[in-house]
Amino acid sequence: MVPLHLVDLDPRLTALRALGGFFALRVGEDADRRLPTLAQAYGPRRPDVQHASASDPLAVRVRRVAAALRTQEPRVAASVAHQGLAARLWSVALGCAALYGAVPDLAPGTLRWDPEGSAPDDLHLPEVRPLPGDAATVTAVVLRGHLEPLCAALRARHRVAPALLRGNAASALAAAAREITRHARPDAAARAARLSRDLLAHPLLSGAGGLTATGFRRRSCCLYYRVPGGGVCGDCCFERPPRSSPRAPSA
């Protein structure tokens, strides 16, 4: 298990690695500064840049996910891509808050991302700059700093319902807290649980789902059941996959 020492963030965030692949990220000299930043991913396509991963990183990621899932529905791929990136951002922030009592500055203009990488999303942070590990800071870093512009970018490109994206964000947060509970010491797990409860009560996430005796249950569906061979997730609002609509796939 990971020991809890509420100390300054170490420059390589090594304690995160023991929590699993969704928590670790490349830091410092391991970060590739040639990759696009997440700020570029949330912004409009840059026609002046020839390389696809830099001109429209978000479109590259959605296509990458669609190919991996063998789906022809862009909104399904967009939903799964959104949830994957949300899970990575929550995991890093919540994991650091639980283990260190602080979170790294994950500013979108600094945090780099490989949209063509495999899952979990490959994140690169050139420098670790500590911020307070409280709910208000995690909200500012993840919800306001990343998930709001990410949702806006996806909705501008694909017909993805706001409630679905809100459910994805809440589900990813609950999953990150659950993994910390499984792998960290009880005091770190308790800290993560408190933070996740506070974050789930935020207006941007409240109503997306609720904690039950067995975990978290969302009130929307991420559309994974529409993937060939897919089904419903463990926290889905559906108990079994609904019938697929006969209409043509949405753009």
Q: What is the pLDDT of residues 212-240, one digit of tens each?
A: 877 899 999 999 999 999 999 999 999 89
Higher per-residue confidence, 212 vs 88: 88
52: confidence class by pLDDT, cuts 50, 70, 90: low
The one-letter amino acid code at 69 reads: L
List, for residues 123-141, the tens digit of each pLDDT value.
Answer: 999 999 999 999 999 999 9
The one-letter amino acid code at 2 reads: V
Average pLDDT score over the chain: 90
Rounded Cα distance between 58 and 116, Å, is 10
Evaluate whether 188 touches 99 at the Cβ level (below 8 Å): yes
CB count in 10 Å sphere of residue 240: 8
Across 205-209, average pLDDT:
93
Evaluate whether 120 touches 21 at the Cβ level (below 8 Å): yes
Evaluate whether 215 touches 164 at the Cβ level (below 8 Å): no
Is the full-model pTM beyond 0.85?
A: yes
List, for residues 143-162, the tens digit of each pLDDT value.
Answer: 999 999 999 999 999 989 99
